[in-house]
């Protein structure tokens, strides 16, 4: 699969939200990062394996009630892609809402995602998680 095909399949798997199937699109070794305050926001941070990516998606529902995850634009240049959009989730621990725009940088090699960096308003997310 080329980059666009992998991203289209990622969208289908995200809609079905099956963590094992989502993680199946990732390489065995991955450069994954969602930067921010990991002390306040335990679901973010770095991961390096497909198993850790699966755990991220499997554990996310413990922390968040996902409401909106919408990709608005996808830009592809060979193996590299950038996606922009917005998301909204409720933090289960304190009933606060996170609403933020995001950009995701991805690299796809041989039909597998090898890099996934999600950039969002990390200050806003950490503030909502702390209060």
Q: pLDDT (tens digit, 9 = 90+) per residue, 61-94? A: 999 999 999 999 999 999 999 999 999 999 999 9
Contact 21, 15 (CB under 8 A): no
For residue 131, name the pLDDT band (cuts at 50, 70, 90): confident
At residue 77, the pLDDT reads 98
Tokens found for residue 111: 């039909």
pLDDT digits 0-9 by tens, 89-119: 999 999 999 999 999 999 999 999 999 999 9
Q: Which domains does the chain have, with CATH numbers?
A: 3-130 (3.10.450.50)
| Angstrom distance (rounded) from CA 122 to CA 129 | 10
Q: Which of 120, 118, 116, 82 is nearest to 98 (CA)?
A: 120
What average pLDDT does range 33-55 have in this prediction?
Answer: 96
| Angstrom distance (rounded) from CA 71 to CA 30 | 21
| Angstrom distance (rounded) from CA 6 to CA 36 | 27
- What percent of the chain is modeled with pLDDT above 90? 98
């Amino acid at each position: 699969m080329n980059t666009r095909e992998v991203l289209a399949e990622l969208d289908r798997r995200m809609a079905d939200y099956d963590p094992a199937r989502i993680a199946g699109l990732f390489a065995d070794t991955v450069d994954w990062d969602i930067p921010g305050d990991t002390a306040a926001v335990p679901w973010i941070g770095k991961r390096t394996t497909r198993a850790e990516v699966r755990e991220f998606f499997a554990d996310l529902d413990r922390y968040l009630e996902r409401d909106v995850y919408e990709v608005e634009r996808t830009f592809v240049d060979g193996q590299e892609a950038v996606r922009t959009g917005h998301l909204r989730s409720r933090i289960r621990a304190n009933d606060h809402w996170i609403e933020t725009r995001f950009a995701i940088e991805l690299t796809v090699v041989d039909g597998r995602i090898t890099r996934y960096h999600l950039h969002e308003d990390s200050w806003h997310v950490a503030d909502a998680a702390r209060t």
